[in-house]
Structure 1
């Protein structure tokens, strides 16, 4: 049942996000229409819970069959379209249109599907709604523990300055030690979750010393502004926007703490059937990352109107970002295993996992990895 509830929680966040996007997809921070969204989400989740409880061995198949998007890339054939799940942090890839230009001559299209955070993105991958996407270090671990058949494709360079724990400017909290007993919001199973764990551990606090509040970024921002939480663990561009317009003060950022970046991931079947497509995607990502590192102001100017964020805020987020992708190697696998072990030690995932089970062979990685 713990596994069922974990999957349902991810579903709730994903459905709320979709409802928010339908209302106003151009805003970085949207508000969910509570009466309608609440009734709809509750009804869907009760239906899923009933189905899961009546058939304990069919959880994954029931969730997979409930996807609203056509599951077109689950056969053995090469995909004619790549369904790319993305978050705000890589929207430049979509805005520039580089994947479409690269893949169109090969008869392959690109469909972009936005998610508020990594956990919702990987749940969509698990049920077959997307083929490829990115997330921080934590979402793949929660997804793998929930039975998702995903694959690590490439690492994203660590960006320690791009995440932080925020408190209101007038908060009496001046040190991490003073977070004891306080309400701290974060997206469960995200990089912000792991950042919080690392910061607490370094300060000699236990996870049980705080009141964890699991909220997706838009809801966490609303709670932060209303003063119903004491602190917020979050990443850019939400972090930069909160500094500018949500009366936020940085209690501590990820510098000297966060050594782990995120990942590009794919469904196992997509990775097995489309190595040349993945190679093309990674080559274009690397080119764009290299270009972005040298043209930060231009990156900010491109993203500002797309995200609905003022230029100064976007420049702040872009200037402190680390660009680049890194190969999946033994060192990276070992670092990711430490993250998985920490979550299991705290009983935040239902079972111990082996990160290596979600990786490919060195030969497969060599077939599509660009020179990094």
Structure 2
């Protein structure tokens, strides 16, 4: 009897050991997973984010040594706020134009442009209606309520448009808001025009036309989209801060490699890429035709040109805020070394 009891005890100990080891391995795997580096990336749900979001749709971020976390934020100032923050779930990097970069720098932070993903001089436009007569003469902007997302390309575009026609910010009523809110205000007639981009421009055209039919909106004449392509060249960029670059350099290099792959996918299959982006933005097939045909999709960094753009917008911002001190060196806001590490030919 003692012999059988001894055998049973040994068997029981073996089972306990097996289960314990299995749990230990499971816990070890969990610890490895929890200790994996993470990268939080701030992205806008707009057409400008085509390259970074296509990389997400194509699962290009999945095979990296870090965990990629996509943060969808409503407007450029929200990306800026996230880059300024520290701690859990603030962005280590984000995709923004030059204007938010300058706002970030002027606030005493240290933004760093790592690469440009798209460029175009057709991407900032105004939605209005025929009744405003703005399309007849831009001088008719005077006295109008104009929706604009302050701290973004919309602000500098409007400023340059006004200056070109001998007007200033004091000649209009600027209404600040998120793009979706500005779209709602211009459709309802609470403001006369709004400086927007896709998908909001495309949505505004359709919703205004359909809204008139069902008497949701007052008929104020045909909806119009206005563009002066001489005013602004959009450069949408991958941006981090000096501190976050120091702490996340390897992860950011991997991310740039994924973005390059995504830009090449767009070139190889523009039609397929366009449809995926339209579906993401809840647009119909063909809605992004103009965007795809007037935008350059290339992950690169033109250092001298980027310095010129930053200096130009810094000077503009100082005109609005005289207390701002202009930097002596604009190259401190650019780091070409990450892209050079991947492919030197992408740095110009």
1:290 matched to 2:251? The reply is no
* C-alpha separation in 2, matches of 1:137 and 1:361: 15
Stretches of structure 1 that go unaligned for 5 or more consecutive residues are: 1-77
Match of 2:164 in 1: 202
1:153, 1:328 within 8 Å by CA — same for their partners in 2?
A: no
Label 1:246 to 1:93 Cα distance change in 2 as closer, same or farther (>3 A): farther
Match of 2:77 in 1: 119
Match of 1:249 in 2: 224
1:227 matched to 2:182? The reply is no
1:231-288: CA deviations, max 9, x gaps? 111122222222333343113x142221341221013222123333222222221221
DSSP-derived class of the 1:262 partner: strand
Label 1:175 to 1:370 Cα distance change in 2 as closer, same or farther (>3 A): farther
Largest Rg, 1 or 2: 2
For residue 196 of structure 1, report the CA deviation from its aligned partner.
1.1
Q: Which of 159, 162, 178 does residue 123 from structure 2 map onto?
A: 162
* C-alpha separation in 1, matches of 2:116 and 2:245: 15
Aligned length in residues: 289
Higher RCO by CA contacts (8 Å cutoff, separation 6 or greater): 2
Label 1:241 to 1:279 Cα distance change in 2 as closer, same or farther (>3 A): same
TM-score normalised by structure 1 residue count: 0.71
1:183-198 to structure 2, matched below 5 A, reads 183-198=145-160
For residue 362 of structure 1, report the CA deviation from its aligned partner.
5.5
2:318, 2:325 within 8 Å by CA — same for their partners in 1?
A: yes
Stretches of structure 2 that go unaligned for 5 or more consecutive residues are: 1-34, 210-222
Q: Which of 141, 147, 150 does residue 102 from structure 2 map onto?
A: 141
2:256, 2:339 within 8 Å by CA — same for their partners in 1?
A: no
Match of 1:352 in 2: 325
1:65-144 to structure 2, matched below 5 A, reads 80-88=37-45, 89=47, 90=49, 91-101=53-63, 103=64, 106=65, 108-128=66-86, 129-144=90-105
DSSP-derived class of the 2:297 partner: coil
DSSP-derived class of the 1:134 partner: strand
The RMSD of aligned alpha carbons is 2.4
Match of 1:60 in 2: none
* C-alpha separation in 2, matches of 1:145 and 1:193: 16
Q: Which of 328, 332, 340 does residue 366 from structure 1 map onto?
A: 340
* C-alpha separation in 1, matches of 2:202 and 2:194: 13
1:31-79: CA deviations, max 9, x gaps? xxxxxxxxxxxxxxxxxxxxxxxxxxxxxxxxxxxxxxxxxxxxxxx98
Label 1:215 to 1:356 Cα distance change in 2 as closer, same or farther (>3 A): same
